[in-house]
Amino acid sequence: MAITAVRPARHELAQSVLDLTEALWADARVEPGYRQAMRSALVPAQDLTTLKRVAFGSPPLIALPGLSCEAAGGNRLQADPVSAAWGLLYYAAHLLDAVEDGQVEIGAGLPSPGSTINVAIGLMTSAALALSALEDSGTSPEVVQDIRSRFHGIVLTMCGGQHADLTRSEPSLDECWQAAQAKSGAFFDLACWAGARLASRDSSQPDPFGLFGQNLGTVIQIRDDLSGLSPVAGEISDLASGGSWTLPVAYTMSVVPEGERDQLRHLLQAARSDATALVEARRRIIESGAVLYLTVEVERRRRQAEAALMAASQPSKARGELLALLREVCTLRNA
């Protein structure tokens, strides 16, 4: 569901989000052991300023709602409840994704699929509680309702994308793009749209910020798929996982002759346990032009995101930070 983990780090905003979350748990009188399990799921890795395989400096991704709010003419501090809700929801989705992929995290205080699911449900509920803090801060009921509805709708969109991933082992290229936009794209759309909505007079004004986030999130999914093609030391290649086809595989299958598709299918099956088959499958995917194709897609989406943001906002520090984050995300390492 989520492309990777998002967790609180030693960053001023992240600490604010943690403090808000802890206050919500205290008000709700959450059982201490369960509270600790949720806290343990969020805190140990100290990496909210990063995404696995994608190193970010400043600002961290959790700053997206606040930066979007400020770029739209508001005060970024207004967006702390949205940032909390977004971060909690994203990590809950990551935990559920880990269970669905059979990769429960060891050492995070979550020893079993059942306990992982239970913690994920708690984080999702905490996200809903975090949105209630918007009303306490004086945000108008109309805006709060718009943001809450958007959150619920995006959860359903992400679940639909995940359902497609779980039920299609060999998706077409179009289906891969639809899944990428339904999961990662939609989620980053939510972060930017919701932040901008806090500063907007009506629900249509934040739409360009949502388009910025949609493109940003889709690029992050592209990066994740390309990194899975050529992982760093200690990580398992997507080609060896036996999971659903990713964008590079789906592209290759869409352009090579039928006979070569059958050969690549055989190599991918063998790659789960055969390093030679893995190397050969990777070579064929790269030679098909998949990496070049996705690199062009990254640049196209970068331009779309930049144009949307430039049209929707005036020059400001917040807009500059959003553009800098976009450029960093769109800088690909060699596959």
3-state helix/strand/coil string of 179-238: HHHHHHHHHHHHHHHHHHHCCCCCCCCCHHHHHHHHHHHHHHHHHHHHHHHCCCCCCCCH
The Cα 68–Cα 152 span in angstroms is 20
75 three-class SS: coil
Domains of the chain: 12-329 (1.10.600.10)
pLDDT at 54: 28
How crowded is the C-beta side of 56, counted as CA atoms within 13 Å?
27
pLDDT at 148: 94
The pLDDT profile of the chain, 335 residues, written as one tens digit per residue, is 333 333 334 356 777 778 888 899 998 899 999 998 888 877 644 444 333 332 233 457 889 999 999 999 999 989 999 999 998 998 888 888 878 777 665 445 566 888 889 999 999 999 999 998 888 878 899 999 999 999 999 999 999 988 888 889 899 999 999 999 999 999 999 999 999 999 988 778 899 999 999 999 999 999 989 988 877 665 678 888 778 899 999 999 999 999 999 999 999 999 989 999 999 999 999 999 999 999 999 999 999 999 999 999 999 999 999 999 999 999 976 55
The Cα 255–Cα 228 span in angstroms is 20
Residues near 13 by Cβ (< 8 Å), separated by ≥ 6?
A: 59, 60, 62, 63, 66, 80, 83
User: Shortest CA distance to 52 belongs to which of 89, 6, 90?
Assistant: 6
Instruction: Give the position of tokens 């959790």.
Output: 62
pLDDT at 3: 37
pTM value > 0.75: yes
The Cα 134–Cα 154 span in angstroms is 19
pLDDT at 11: 58
pLDDT at 105: 53
- Residues 254, 294 contacting (CB under 8 angstroms): no
Q: For the stretch 286-319, what's the b/e string if a residue is b when 16 or more beta carbons lie within 10 angstroms of its beta carbon?
A: bebbbbebbbebbeebbebbbebbeebbeeeebb
pLDDT at 240: 82
pLDDT at 57: 37
- Write the CA distances from 159 to 1, 2, 7, 73, integer angstroms: 7, 10, 21, 32
43: left (phi over 0), alpha (psi -120 to 50) or beta: alpha
